[in-house]
Chains A and B, each alone.
Chain A
Amino acid sequence: MDKSEIPSELEIGQALRQWLPDSAILTTPESKRPYETDGLSAYRQMPYVVVLPATEKEVQAVLRYCHAQRIPVVARGAGTGLSGGALPHERGVLLSLARLRNILQVDPLARTVRVQPGVRNLAITQAVDAHGLYYAPDPSSQIACSIGGNVAENSGGVHCLKYGLTLHNILRLRVLTVTGGAVEIGSEAPDSAGFDFMALLTGSEGLLAIITEVTVKVIPKPLLSKVIMASFDTVEQAGDAVAHMIAAGIIPAGLEMMDALATRAAEDFVHAGYPVEAAAVLLCESDGMPEVVEDELARMKTILEENGATELRIARDEAERLRFWAGRKAAFPAVGRLAPDYYCIDGTIPRRRLGEVLRRIADWSLEYGLEVANVFHAGDGNLHPLILYDAGVPGEFHKTEELAGRILELCVEVGGTITGEHGVGVEKINQMCVQFGQDEITVFHEIKAAFDPEGLLNPGKAIPTLQRCAEGGRMHVHHNRLPHPELPRF
Chain B
Amino acid sequence: MQGELEPLCAQVRQAYEARRPLRIRGGGSKSFLVCSAAPEVLDLRLYAGIVDYEPSELVVTVRAGTPLVALERLLEENGQMLAFEPPHLGLQATVGGMVAAGLSGPRRMAQGAVRDFVLGVRMIDGQGRDLSFGGRVIKNVAGFDVSRLMVGAWGALGVLTEVTLKVVPRASAQLTLEWNLSEAQALQRINEWAGQPWPITASSYYQGRLRVRLEGPRKALESSAARLGGKEILEGKGWWMGLREQQLDFFMTPKPLWRIAVRPTTGPLGLSGQTLVEWGGGLRWIACDHGHAQVHAMAREAGGHAQQWHGGDPARPFPEPPSGTLLALHRSLKKVFDPAGILNPGLPGFLGG
Contacts and interface: CB of A to CB of B under 8 A. Distances in A.
Interface of A: 107-111, 131-133, 153-154, 156, 160-161, 164-165, 167-168, 177, 181-185, 187-197, 199-200, 202-204, 208, 220-223, 243-244, 246-247, 249-251, 288-289, 291-292, 295, 348-352, 377, 380-382, 415-424, 428, 432, 435-437, 439-440, 443-444, 446-447, 450-451, 462-463, 478-479
B148 interface: yes
A167 B145 contact: yes
Contacts of B152: 191, 195-196
B330 interface: yes
A190 B143 contact: no
Given A187-B304, A194-B330, A479-B132, A420 B146 contact: no
B139 A292 contact: no
A222 B337 CA distance: 43
B224 interface: yes
A196 B115 CA distance: 9
A343 to B, nearest CB: 18
B67 to A, nearest CB: 25
Contacts of A188: 263-264, 303-304
B149 A196 contact: yes
B205 to A, nearest CB: 15
Interface string B232-270: 000000000000000000000000000001111100000
Contacts of A380: 137-139
Contacts of A110: 191, 263-265
Contact of A189 (B139, B141, B305, B322): B305
B141 A164 contact: no
Given A108-B195, A110-B263, A190-B113, A289 B224 contact: yes
Contacts of A204: 144-145
B148 A349 contact: no
Contacts of A199: 115, 145, 148-149, 151
B144 A292 contact: no
Majority secondary structure, A binding face: loop
Contacts of A184: 326
8 contacts: A183-B326, A189-B302, A247-B55, A291-B220, A295-B220, A417-B137, A435-B143, A443-B125
Contacts of B318: 193
10 closest Cβ contacts across the A-B interface? A189-B304, A249-B169, A199-B148, A193-B319, A450-B332, A420-B139, A291-B220, A247-B56, A189-B261, A190-B282
Contacts of B322: 193-194
Given A177-B325, A181-B324, 12 more contacts: A110-B191, A111-B194, A189-B302, A193-B321, A196-B115, A200-B148, A246-B56, A247-B56, A288-B199, A419-B140, A436-B132, A439-B129
Interface string B152-181: 110001000000000011101000000000
Interface string B284-310: 000000000000000000111101000
B139 A202 contact: no
B303 A189 contact: yes
Contacts of B262: 189
B273 to A, nearest CB: 19
